Structure formats: C-alpha cells, structure tokens
Structure 1
C-alpha cells in the first residue's frame, strides 16, 4: 500500500507502480521507464533499435499490447485468483469463460501478427517488446492458466526469451507474481475497503 502514500505521490501522482526517480527526474508507466533506461544507459541496439523500421516494429507491439494482451492477462489473473479472495466466492463461470476467450484471441494475434515465423516479436533479435510480453503472460500463468501448454510456437518463444535473459534473472523477475497465490489472507477491513474497487473487474 505504499504507492498510496503522499510521499509516493510526489514521485508518481497516479499512485501506481512502477515509478522511477532518477535524480530530479521522475517517470511513470513501465514501457516509458524501459525505453528511458535503454536510451540513458545505451543498451545494446537490439533492445530498442536505432533503425527506423525495426524500431517501429517494437513500437507497434508496445502500442497494441497495452489495451489487448496486457488487459486480458491482468483480467484473467484477477478473475481466477484475486477476486475470489476479495468477494468470498468464485467469479461467475460465464464471466471467466468470456475473459479466457478474449485472452485466447489475443494470444492468437500475438502469434499471427507479431511472432509469425520469427524468433522474437519484432524480428530475429530480442527486444523490449519481448520483455513486456513475457511479463504480461506470466500473470495468467501465476493463476494456473496454461498459456503455453497448447501453443508450441509460443512455448518455444518463451524458452528463447528465458535463454536470452538468463534463467536466474528470468525467475527473479517473475518471482513476486508467481507467488501471488501464496499471499496471506486479506483482513476483513481491507476486503471491505477494496471490494467496491475490484467489483468493476467483473
């Protein structure tokens, strides 16, 4: 809950994580932070290419994912794992089925439009597009959704991303979300406070 504090609001008035404070400069939104860091520290070109068309491919994915893959992945995690905790009962089956169908549609677009027959989403080399995508996909995985089991092309892509990043760093990056199901129960007062907010996810 520290993101709701007044101190955090000075870094990010949106009161959301992640947020970056670099000297006197502050920045919100994960994609903006990734691109800022890649430029500031002159990351290898493949992460965010200088080539106009290669860069446009990365930007294309980043623009699409925000209201497509990211949205559906987050919704699946909330409806399968988080909402039952706050509401005290499972999400209606028809609601969850609709959300899973939307995720499946986004996964198909991810394969057909972006991955195609390439090794990575924006071409032959890994980029920030792949980092953003794998991060989102691990949310439904953490809720027990077998995203990769029936999609061998996507599963092979995940293995390539993990190999490029390194297994230890890959596991560390997703440790928190993968342990979300093991979080201690939420106390009654907090449930009552947050219940109206989470109900909008139904």
Structure 2
C-alpha cells in the first residue's frame, strides 16, 4: 500500500492538526503542499477531489476524506495501535468529540471569519466584533481547562491537538495572556505533543510573516 496522501498547507491550523496526529501515532504521510494564497485549492482538479476545496484533504489509497476532525479520527481508528488519542470508552470519547465539535463550530469558525478578510486582501484590520467573538470562544476554552491539564482526559487527545493548532497559529492577532488556563495548557501541548515545534510552531511563524506582510501593504 502507498502512504496516505494529505493535501495540506504548512501554516493551516487544521493541516497542522492532522500532521501532528500522524506524528503522534507514528504514521508517515505523503504531504502534498497546496498554496492557498495562490488559489491552488480552487483548481478544477482539486475540486474533483474535494468539492469543498479545503485543506487538509486525505487520499488514503483511493479513499477520499476532507475535514481535519474526520481525518484525525479516521487515521487513529485505522492506524493507531492505541486508543489514547481517541478512546474507545464511550464517555471518554464523547468528551473528546464535544471538544472537537467546539473547535469545528466555534473556535475555528470565529478565527477564520476574523482573519480571512486580511488574507484575502479585503481589510487591513480585524473588526472589533470579530475580536469579541474570538475572545468569547477563548473564555469558554479557558473555562473548559479550569482545574484540568488537558481538554478531555488525563493526557492529551485529538481534542488538544485540534484546538491548540488554532490557538498557536493565531495568537499573534488574539493574545492569550489574560487566559492563564490556556497559557498553561499551551505550554503542556508544546512539551508533550509530538511534532509541535516542527509543525505547529513552524506554521505559526509563517502565519505571523504572512499577516505582518499583508497588514503593512
């Protein structure tokens, strides 16, 4: 069998989350870089692969799957020798799922809505309303972490990998200093999640460079 192909963007938080998941379970991927700023995800060929024209997109020997959360749970289910990242226990899995849904429907949506106008060259600033919505999501995340080291258990899971990729990449625009639980948690993520430095931190540096360049134009 060929290596699973992941169409990815190095600075994309969901792409980073999928790559860190693979790193955590010891799975080698065939990474195909997609340049979002050049519109490579908008081509006819890529649309045939993924009608949503989003990254990451997985091609696992002909099985096509999009959405980072779906890809992460699939990779763990198929390739991981352990269920630590996505427990089989129903109650534990439900908690991981809830945090993944929070990331999918709240945290990621609000950060994307806030920064996409800048990435598309439509604005030079993040609106006050967008900032309020992102910080309300941070309020919730900070509360989720109250008295806990991790989002959904006694060790890091897919919930932590997914959420930390967004917080790490966009903290240039949304400082987290006022969220002590998030700050402490991010330090743990950086220390314990495999590939954090080479994947998430590297991606965040690219985000910072891109944002700074666009804001100065």
Instruction: Give the Cα separation in 2 of the matches to 1:97 and 1:116.
Output: 27
Cα deviation, 1:85-142, whole Å, max 9, x if unaligned, reads: x13x534xxx722111111111111122x2221110002110000011011112322x
Give me the CA root mean square deviation: 2.2
Q: Unaligned regions of 5+ residues in structure 1, if any?
A: 187-202
Distance 1:134 1:43, change over 3 A: farther
Distance (whole Å) between structure 1 residues aligned to residue 139 and residue 81 of structure 2: 30
* CA distance in 2 between partners of 1:43 and 1:128 (Å): 15
Question: Which residue in the other structure is 2:149 paired with?
Answer: 119
- Does the Cα contact within 8 Å between 1:58 and 1:128 map onto a contact in 2? yes
> Does the aligned pair in 2 maintain the 1:74–1:139 contact within 8 Å?
no
Say if 1:11 and 1:27, in contact at 8 Å, map to a contact too.
Answer: no
Equivalent residue for 1:7?
45
Describe how 1:1-202 pairs up with structure 2 within 5 A. 1-78=39-116, 81-82=118-119, 86-87=121-122, 90-91=124-125, 96-112=127-143, 114-141=144-171, 143-147=172-176, 149-166=177-194, 169-174=195-200, 175-183=202-210
Check whether the contact 1:69–1:106 (CA below 8 A) recurs between aligned residues.
Answer: yes
In 2: Cα distance, 1:156 partner to 1:185 partner: 30
Bigger relative contact order (CA 8 A; separation at least 6): 2
C-alpha separation in 2, matches of 1:24 and 1:90: 41
Partners of 1:90 and 1:124 lie apart in 2 by 41
Instruction: Report the count of equivalent residues.
Output: 174
Structure 2 residue ranges without an equivalent (≥5):
1-38
Work out whether residues 47 and 127 of structure 1, in 8 Å CA contact, stay in contact via their aligned partners in 2.
yes
TM-score relative to the length of structure 2: 0.72
Deviations 1:20-63 (A, max 9, x none): 00112111111000000001112532200011100000011112
Structure possessing the higher radius of gyration over alpha carbons: 1
Cα offset for 1:76? Answer: 3.2
- Tell me, what secondary structure is at the counterpart of 1:54? helix
Q: List per-residue Cα deviations over 1:63-91 (Å, max 9, x = no partner).
A: 22222111122233335x535xx13x534
Residues in 1 aligned to 2:47 and 2:141: alpha-carbon distance in whole angstroms: 35
TM-score by length of 1: 0.77
